[in-house]
Amino acid sequence: MVTTRPPRHRPDSSGSGGGAAWLERWQVPLYLASLALGAAVGYLWPAGALGFGTAINPVLMVLLYATFLGVPFARIRAAFADVRFMACVVVLNFVVVPLVVFALSRPVAFDPSLLVGVLLVLLCPCVDYVMVFTRLGGGDAGRLVAASPVQMLLQMVLLPLFLWLFAGGAVVAAIHWAPFARAFLLLIVVPLVLSVLTQQLARRQGAARVVMRAMESAMVPLMMGTLMVVVASQFGHVAAQFGLLVRVVPLFVGFLVVMPVLANLIGRLGGQPVVIRRTLAFTGSTRNSLVVLPLALALPPEMALAASVVVTQTLVELLGMVTFVRVIPRLIRQRPGPGRGAPGQDVRAIGGGAGLMAVTLRS
């Protein structure tokens, strides 16, 4: 389940609770199955793309409302209590990541639609299913819960600035900001405001608490439905533009290779323990694709390929996260040295036999 609280270790004995626990336990393969189903539907029934495209906005509104409900905006002050962790998160996602994205995006800088798609999706850190993969990969999802409202607000403020800096004034000027602004208002601001109001009401009204519990229980089906609808609606575009979209796949793979190394380095410089460095690896690598997708869909027709770029990144990232769940705990781990368990060194190669990059991970 795409949730922002640690999983229950003892399954609920009730039917609904047991079902929610089962969905949470199997959410990763369920997400992959939804992607495969969406691709199959898009391939076998291309005429249905228009209908699925019409369903994207309503589905995304519900999903983002449920996602934002799990972001504890009332705990923003508490997020700053752990100054070193918050500093690591902010530096990683809003200083280091933009530098990496700028470098990675240069090979597609000649094509505004590819460039804007890459920038939109890679500049925004994930605030939803990153919690899932962080838990599965041995990180501290609770810390990310506290940091999520800060990350959400910072990306909303800084994204226009980064677009202007990295894409240039001419590209930014070509964007028709009216539909972009409407999409931002309808699909980001409205669910965000409603979620904050629901959280406030839940403090004193039982009905609001029921809504929050219901939306939390529905997160896995909502994410599955959204992934299926998005892929089914965009599969034809992705297939038709495969020759262009294939250019961004190495960029997304490169991002997944580089970011855990840099996240681990930032964590070490910040004096963070192993579990927090794993957490940084996940937050630095996962992106907010489903949040920025409505913005990509609102771009002018000459930049329509940007939405397919975002969908392509989602496919690459989810496959990467399945790998990360097993790889990150081995790359970033505590290894006692001689004597009384003093920290030692662990040298691993990222990329396995391909030897893409060697990095020393010191506990």
3-class SS of residue 359: strand
Q: Which residue has the higher pLDDT, 98 or 62?
A: 98
* Rounded-to-integer distance, Cα 262 and Cα 92, Å: 8
What's the pLDDT score for residue 233? 86
Residue that wins the pLDDT comparison between 349 and 113: 113
pLDDT for 6 beyond 70: no
From the CB of residue 18, how many other CB atoms can be counted at a distance below 10 Å? 12
Q: Collect contacts of 88-92 with beta carbons under 8 A, ≥24 apart.
A: 88/266, 88/267, 88/270, 88/272, 88/276, 88/280, 89/147, 89/150, 89/151, 89/280, 89/283, 90/150, 90/154, 91/266, 92/262, 92/263, 92/266, 92/280, 92/283, 92/284
Residue from 352, 342, 354 nearest 362 by CA: 342
The alpha carbons of the chain give a radius of gyration, in whole angstroms, of: 20
DSSP-derived letter for residue 71 is S
Q: What is the pLDDT of residue 17?
A: 58
- What's the first-to-final CA gap in the chain, in angstroms? 31
How far is residue 272 from each of residues 98, 250, 358, measured CA to CA in Å? 22, 30, 21
Average of per-residue pLDDT across 95-103: 98
Within 10 angstroms of residue 46's Cβ, the number of other Cβ atoms is 14
pLDDT tier at 336, thresholds 50, 70, 90: low
Contacting residues for 162 by C-beta, under 8 A, at least 6 apart: 98, 101, 119, 123
Of residues 315 and 97, more confidently modeled: 97
pLDDT at 249 over 70: yes
The DSSP string of 190-245 is: HHHHHHHHHHHHHTT-HHHHHHHHHHHHTHHHHHHHHHHHHHHHHHHHHHHTHHHH
> pLDDT tier at 356 (50, 70, 90 boundaries)?
very low
Q: Grade residue 179 by pLDDT with cuts at 50, 70 and 90.
A: low
pLDDT at residue 357 above 80? no
Partners of residue 347 on adjacent β-strands = 360
Of 2-11, 199-208, 278-287, the range with the lowest mean pLDDT is 2-11
pLDDT at 341 exceeding the cut of 90: no
Q: What pLDDT score was predicted for residue 64?
A: 80
Q: Which of 67-71, 267-271, 282-286 has the lowest mean pLDDT?
A: 67-71
Sequence-distant (≥ 6) Cβ neighbours of residue 152 within 8 angstroms: 68, 71, 127, 192
Cβ atoms of 195 and 71 within 8 Å: the answer is yes
Predicted confidence (pLDDT) per residue in 120-163, tens digit? 999 999 877 787 788 888 888 778 877 888 888 898 889 989 99
What is the model's pLDDT at position 165?
94
Residue 65 has pLDDT above 80, yes or no: yes
In 10 A of CB 192, how many CB atoms? 21
Q: Which residue is associated with the tokens 């994930």?
A: 126
Residue 53's SS3 state is: helix
Share of the chain above pLDDT 90, in %: 36
Return mean pLDDT, the chain: 81
What pLDDT, on the 0 to 100 scale, is given for residue 89?
A: 96
- Which pLDDT score, from 0 to 100, does residue 163 have? 93
Is the pLDDT reported for residue 278 higher than 60? Answer: yes
Burial 198-233 (b: 16+ CB within 10 A, else e): bbeebeeeeebeebbeebbbbbbebbbbbbbbbbbb
